[in-house]
Amino acid sequence: MHASASAVNPGALRSRLAQAGLRATRQRLVILESLLTLPGHPTAEQVHRHVVGHSPSISLGTVYKALDSFVAAGLTRRVASAEGASRRYDADCTEHHHLFCTDTQEIIDYCDPQLDELIRQFFAARELEGFQPRSFSLHVVGTRGMK
Amino acid sequence: MHASASAVNPGALRSRLAQAGLRATRQRLVILESLLTLPGHPTAEQVHRHVVGHSPSISLGTVYKALDSFVAAGLTRRVASAEGASRRYDADCTEHHHLFCTDTQEIIDYCDPQLDELIRQFFAARELEGFQPRSFSLHVVGTRGMK
DNA sequence: CCTTTACTGATAATCATTCCTACCTAGTGA
DNA sequence: TCACTAGGTAGGAATGATTATCAGTAAAGG
């Protein structure tokens, strides 16, 4: 009973979908599991490639539709990216930030409660005229490698 | 002699391109001017629509290539966006942030040197393992309207 | 078990972006 | 000023990503 196993066991996936008001179809279970399993921020294409290992009959269109429904239900979010043509998805909906490496085109998750707090306090103090902030996401562009 | 006029006068545009090492063609001058003139963060399509007003013969492909060359030369940057299919461009290369309104789907520029400083100092102190940050861009999601 | 209705698979259609090729022109130096 | 040439342009075809359509299928609830 590892924590890592529990996130992707069938029961947990089912209840996630149920909570979101989505039918727990075989396809969605496999797609959601792939999204949680795959490292980084996969494209629909990458999810599909992974998914056809389990269930070869799942079509790319179904992957797109499933991902859309996950996003609409708040299970998943789309990751903003300026570089690269295709959209990327992120199963992790907790607040976190992204490091984008211009050398490798990699997007690395960056989680830092202190940073969150810093930003939240900044905006609480600042009182933007006519804008009510709800969530923050910092995009850091840079390169991997020693300082 | 407004400051706003000087940014889009032919001479200024020419020297911008020259500094970037790009030839100052008629097409690029018009495209760069449109990019500076258009509000928000236009797509290539939107720039093209604006540009054909002046010079109807400029093709969409030329707009794409000009924008690519501007980005490569650092005159322009691509704006990260999770929503919407097409890429957006921003003529303003100074560091700034974006407020995204979930009601109106609007992207509002937000410039704040104090915030920049806060983030820069945070990362200077933090010393990310194996990542060298170069620039920061904060994406704030929220809604317009009174607090 | 039956019904309802949302979901799926296959394919076509659409939209954004890039590629290709022949022509053109800005910048350079004689 | 003139001609040279590397780089830029127009236009259309090609590619890639995403969405729409629709007949068939299978979850969820009674």
Same domain, B86 and B118: no
- CB-nearest to B122 from A78, A118, A132 is A118
Is the confidence at residue B5, as pLDDT, over 70?
no
* Residue A147 resides in a domain: no
* Residue A127 resides in a domain: yes
Tell me the pLDDT tens digit for each residue of B10-47: 889 999 999 999 999 999 999 999 999 998 899 999 99
Selection from A96, A10, A87 nearest residue A43 by Cα: A87
Q: Is A78 left (phi over 0), alpha (psi -120 to 50) or beta?
A: beta
Q: Give the global pTM.
A: 0.84
Domain range enclosing B133: 97-142
Q: Among A1-5, A92-96, A116-120, B10-14, whose mean pLDDT is lowest?
A: A1-5
- Nearest residue to D17 via alpha carbon and C1': A86
Same domain, A112 and A135: yes
* Burial of A137: CB neighbours in 10 Å, binned 0-12, 13-18, 19+: buried
Structural domain total, chain B: 2
Same domain, B108 and B71: no
DSSP category for residue B43: B
Tell me the pLDDT tens digit for each residue of A105-118: 778 889 999 999 99
Same domain, B65 and B41: yes
CATH number of the domain at A33, please.
Answer: 1.10.10.10
Same domain, B17 and B73: yes
Q: Are A13 and A29 in contact (CB under 8 A)?
A: yes
Cβ neighbours of B31 (radius 10 Å): 28
Establish whether the CB of B69 is closer than 7 Å to any nucleic acid atom in strand D.
Answer: yes
- CB-nearest to B132 from A112, A122, A147 is A147
Same domain, B102 and B86: no
Selection from A34, A38, A42 nearest residue A13 by Cα: A34
Amino acid, single-letter form, for residue A108: I
Contacts of B136 in chain A (CB under 8 A): 138-141
Q: Are A92 and A133 in contact (CB under 8 A)?
A: no
